[in-house]
Amino acid sequence: MFLLRDYKDILKKIKNKKPLIHHITNYVTATDCANTVLALGASAVMADDPLEVEEVVIHSDALVLNMGTLNQQKIEAFILAGRKANDLGIPIILDPVGVGGTKLRSEALKRILKEIKVSVIRGNMSEIKHIYGIEEMTRGVDSISDSKDGGKEISKAIAQRHKCVVAITGEIDYISDGNQTFSIRNGHKMLTNITGTGCMTTSLIGVCCGATKDIFMATALAISIMGIAGERAYEDLQDKSGIGSFKVHLLDAIGGFTIELLEERGRIDGLSY
């Protein structure tokens, strides 16, 4: 199966290359994202001062821009780091956390998409719908919309508009590059009970994109890893309501991910247009 061959190749490259993923990210989940990157076999750096971000990007294999705890200094860091990454051909993964919730976030997103060429946009359905242009209230940074609600059409349209890969994560995940679209049905509802699993997923995308030029397949692999890890983490819980223990098991499951697990448990559907 070509998917497994491609995924196996990316996992091997991560192990051999140990890509460095530069995050300008959400301070609420920075530690979780760093540990997620380490668990999969890569390295993370969290540098967000505009005076150093360009220098850090030079040494990085991917750049993650997370809008979770947004401020003006961070927006400037996004732009500076993003332009440098574009100059160097380094993939940029954008997580538009809470976009649509405030004017600051909406205007920041417009500027980012205008001034930077991003490789991947990953968000929940509310966030992605805002980018698409559908008005919908965003409650905090959480999605109040169902990922099944037009996910494949919206992901394809935004991917074509911005010439990038778009990933909508939720009960069903959709990944599109404008030509091909996958749906992924792995995961567990416990993933929504702890803060940061979306940010962690974005970091996993950064790791996979930092190891290959196949951005579409890298994004699909990263989302599959999080979904399967979530399932395994829940299965390993002694107390099925223990969210703290679930988080520990989740990191363990990411660290123990193998291609054999994907072959056994992956629920990926290729949707052709």
Tens of pLDDT, residues 207-227? 999 999 999 999 999 999 999
Q: 138-145: long-range contacts at Cβ-Cβ below 8 A with a sequence spacing of 24 or more?
A: 138/98, 138/99, 138/100, 138/101, 139/101, 140/98, 140/101, 141/68, 141/97, 141/98, 141/101, 143/170
Q: By the 8 A CB rule, do 114 and 137 touch?
A: no
Distance, in Å, from the CA atom of 208 to the CA atom of 198, rounded to the nearest integer, reads 16
Domain regions of the chain by residue span: 2-272
* Euclidean distance between CA atoms 75 and 137, whole angstroms: 23
C-alpha pair distances (Å), 30 with each of 25, 46, 116, 187? 7, 8, 23, 22
Query: How confident is the model at residue 145, as a pLDDT?
Result: 56
Q: Is 101 annotated as a binding residue?
A: no
- pTM score, two decimals? 0.94
**Cβ atoms within 10 Å, residue 130:** 22
196 in a known ligand binding site: yes
Tell me if 206 is assigned to a ligand binding site: no
Nearest to 68 by CA among 118, 16, 141: 141
Tell me how far apart the alpha carbons of residues 273 and 270 are, in angstroms, rounded to a whole number.
10
- Whole-number pLDDT of residue 162: 96
The tokens describing 48, both together, are 């967000």
Give me the pLDDT at residue 57, please. 98
For residue range 47-66, what is the model confidence (pLDDT) as tens digits? Answer: 999 999 999 999 999 999 99
The helix/strand/coil state of 221 is helix
What are the angstrom distances between the C-alpha of 110 and each of 68, 115, 133, 148, 183? 16, 9, 12, 26, 27
Q: What is the pLDDT along the chain (273 residues), one digit of tens a residue?
A: 567 889 999 999 999 999 999 999 999 999 999 999 999 999 999 999 999 999 999 999 999 999 999 999 999 999 999 999 999 999 999 999 999 999 999 999 999 999 999 999 999 999 999 999 864 545 454 554 555 568 999 999 999 999 999 999 999 999 999 999 999 999 999 999 999 999 999 999 999 999 999 999 999 999 999 999 999 999 998 877 789 999 999 999 999 999 999 999 999 987 433
Instruction: Tell how strand 62-66 and strand 43-46 pair up.
Output: unpaired
DSSP labels, 104-164 = HHHHHHHHHHHH---SEEEE-HHHHHHHHT-----BTTB--S-TTSSHHHHHHHHHHHHTS
pLDDT given at position 273: 33
Beta strand 20-24 with 43-46: parallel, antiparallel or unpaired? parallel
The reply, when asked if residue 190 is annotated as ligand binding, is: no
| Topology adopted by domain 2-272 | UDP-N-acetylmuramoyl-L-alanine:D-glutamate ligase (3.40.1190)
Q: How far is CA 14 from CA 128, 220, 240, in A?
A: 28, 15, 32
Which of 7, 9, 3, 5 has the alpha carbon at shortest distance from 269?
3
Alpha carbon 204 to chain centroid, angstroms? 6
